[in-house]
A and B are shown apart, each in its own frame.
Chain A
Amino acid sequence: EPEVTQTPSHQVTQMGQEVILRCVPISNHLYFYWYRQILGQKVEFLVSFYNNEISEKSEIFDDQFSVERPDGSNFTLKIRSTKLEDSAMYFCASSDVGGGQLEQFFGPGTRLTVL
């Protein structure tokens, strides 16, 4: 069964450093998403991506964040200069079409720890 994969499973970084979180969505999916969950809080939407551009983003997704689909399989989230409050679990998801009524398939997450 196809699944979304994410690497690394755990990333530790120093404050101010850049990190890139990687995701491989399901191969025939066209919509891609990043969510995050700070420990003990809700899973929060960051951004959705379709046709090589951002289709929707939340207020959390500021200039420190960027997303890219560098090739036909990977979807990345970059945080330019990490802050302590960026420590969270980051989930990638994909869906074959867009719209809030359709299932999004989630990866296992990357736990980011900023020291």
Chain B
Amino acid sequence: AQSVTQPDIHITVSEGASLELRCNYSYGATPYLFWYVQSPGQGLQLLLKYFSGDTLVQGIKGFEAEFKRSQSSFNLRKPSVHWSDAAEYFCAVGVKSGNQFYFGTGTSLTVIP
């Protein structure tokens, strides 16, 4: 069965520091991978996605993620965090055989001055 794990429930980083949010998935074939962000009172906004090809994908707001098949991971990174990046981040997997997404539990990011 498909599943997504985000091991870090909450992360705190200083503004300007680098960030990495972890995501591991379980799926028998090549998954479709997504990172969404949710700011308070807002919907889930797509940051980036991976379907095939280059394993390093660039997204909006300076985020990138790398697909590592050998580790079943799709970690989200940003070289320098801004205070406005404080939000909840969700990793999700889509599968070829269906329409639904499988989500992780989310990682809450706090940015301190």
Pairwise interchain contact A101-B99, C-beta atoms closer than 8 A: no
A86-106 near B? 1/0 per residue, CB < 8 Å: 000001010100111111111
Write out the residue numbers on chain B whose beta carbons fall within 8 Å of the beta carbon of A44.
103
Q: Which listed segment binds A: B43-51, B65-73, B74-82?
A: B43-51
Pairwise interchain contact B98-A100, C-beta atoms closer than 8 A: yes
Q: Is B97 an interface residue (CB 8 A)?
A: yes
- A47 to chain B minimum Cβ distance, whole angstroms, is 9
Pairwise interchain contact B43-A43, C-beta atoms closer than 8 A: no
Pairwise interchain contact A100-B43, C-beta atoms closer than 8 A: no
Q: Which of the residues B34, B46, B99, B105 comes within 8 Å of A56, measured between beta carbons? A: B99
List residues of B (91-113) whose CB comes within 8 Å of A's CBs: 92-106
Contact A42:B43 (CB < 8 A) given known A100-B96, A100-B97: no
- A102 to chain B minimum Cβ distance, whole angstroms, is 8
- For the complex, count residues of B whose C-beta is within 8 A of A: 28
Q: Which of the residues A101, A104, A108 comes within 8 Å of B51, measured between beta carbons? A: A101
Q: Which of the residues B34, B101, B106 comes within 8 Å of A45, measured between beta carbons? A: B101
Contact A101:B43 (CB < 8 A) given known A42-B103, A42-B104: no
Q: Is A75 an interface residue (CB 8 A)?
A: no
Q: Closest A-chain residue to B90, C-beta based?
A: A43
Pairwise interchain contact B99-A99, C-beta atoms closer than 8 A: yes
- B3 to chain A minimum Cβ distance, whole angstroms, is 9
A93 CA to B34 CA in the complex, in Å? 15
Write out the residue numbers on chain B whose beta carbons fall within 8 Å of the beta carbon of A100.
32, 93-101
Write out the residue numbers on chain A whose beta carbons fall within 8 Å of the beta carbon of B4.
42
Which 7 A/B pairs are nearest by Cβ-Cβ distance?
A100-B94, A43-B103, A106-B44, A45-B100, A106-B43, A101-B32, A100-B95
Give me the interface of B with A, judged by CB distance under 8 Å.
Answer: 4, 32, 34, 36, 41-46, 49, 51, 90, 92-106
